């Protein structure tokens, strides 16, 4: 195996390790703000993995929609909820062992599936960018569904702000 074939594998392994570490910070951190920041990093690494596999449009969408949009919404909800940032709530429950066993089973299944298709992913050459053809499709034949999705995202923004506000109930 030469360096050109080994480099994508090493980069993938490093990014996968970083993604697992950030995901563990998301679920184990007692601070909601730290969890949100770690989730931003994890979603950014996922975008990097998409870019590594040649899915440039999906990587850009991941960065714009998830990292850029949804994380900003989440941070605004955290700030608007006016909860003390220093308060550390318990992040686990009594079912953590079953959750860990389920996560281990899913991980083993993913490893088996990944090993089955491993050679097919990295043996191909770098593909051509897909953004031009997808952009023409989205702003041509699919413009109405594309705009409908933007309305759904706007509704999610309004819902996030609504649920983030703390209304006092009348006595």
Mean residue pLDDT across the chain: 79
Q: Token pair 């195996």 is at which residue? A: 1
Domain boundary at 52, 86, 120, which?
A: 86
**What is residue 45's predicted lDDT score, i.e. its pLDDT?**
93
0.85 exceeded by pTM: no
Using one digit for the tens of pLDDT, what is the confidence trace for 95-136? 878 888 988 898 888 887 777 766 555 555 555 667 777 778
Based on the domain organization, do 69 and 135 belong to the same domain?
Answer: no
Query: Contact at 8 Å (CB) between 18 and 34?
Result: no
How many domains is the chain built from? 2
Q: What is the full DSSP assignment across 75-141? A: HHHHHHTT--TT-------TTHHHHHHHHHHHHHHHHHHHHHHHHHHHSSPPPPP-HHHHHHHHTTT
- Residue 58 located in a structural domain: yes
Using one digit for the tens of pLDDT, what is the confidence trace for 49-84? 888 888 888 888 888 888 888 778 877 777 777 665
Percent of the chain having pLDDT more than 70?
81
Domain boundary at 86, 112, 139, which?
A: 86
- Residue 91 located in a structural domain: no
Domain boundary at 86, 118, 145, which?
A: 86
Alpha-carbon distance of 56 to 131, in angstroms, equals 7
Q: How confident is the model at residue 14 (pLDDT cuts 50, 70, 90)?
A: very high
Based on the domain organization, do 2 and 61 belong to the same domain?
Answer: yes
Q: Is the pLDDT higher at 162 or at 101? A: 101
- Residue 156 located in a structural domain: yes
Domain CATH code at residue 80:
1.20.120.1200
Residue 75's domain spans which residues? 1-86
């Amino acid at each position: 195996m030469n360096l050109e074939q080994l480099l994508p594998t090493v980069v993938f392994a490093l990014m996968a390790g970083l993604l697992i570490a950030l995901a563990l910070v998301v679920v184990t951190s007692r601070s909601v703000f730290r969890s949100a920041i770690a989730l931003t990093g994890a979603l950014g690494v996922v975008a990097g993995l998409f870019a590594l596999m040649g899915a440039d449009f999906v990587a850009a969408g991941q960065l714009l929609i998830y990292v850029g949009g949804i994380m900003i919404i989440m941070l605004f909800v955290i700030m608007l909820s006016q909860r003390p940032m220093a308060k550390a709530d318990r992040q686990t429950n009594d079912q953590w062992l079953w959750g860990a066993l389920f996560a281990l089973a899913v991980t083993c299944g993913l490893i088996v599936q990944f090993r089955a298709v491993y050679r097919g992913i990295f043996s191909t050459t770098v593909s051509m960018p897909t953004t031009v053809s997808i952009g023409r499709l989205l702003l041509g034949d699919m413009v109405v569904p594309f705009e409908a999705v933007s309305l759904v995202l706007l509704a999610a923004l309004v819902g996030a702000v609504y649920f983030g506000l703390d209304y006092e109930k009348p006595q």
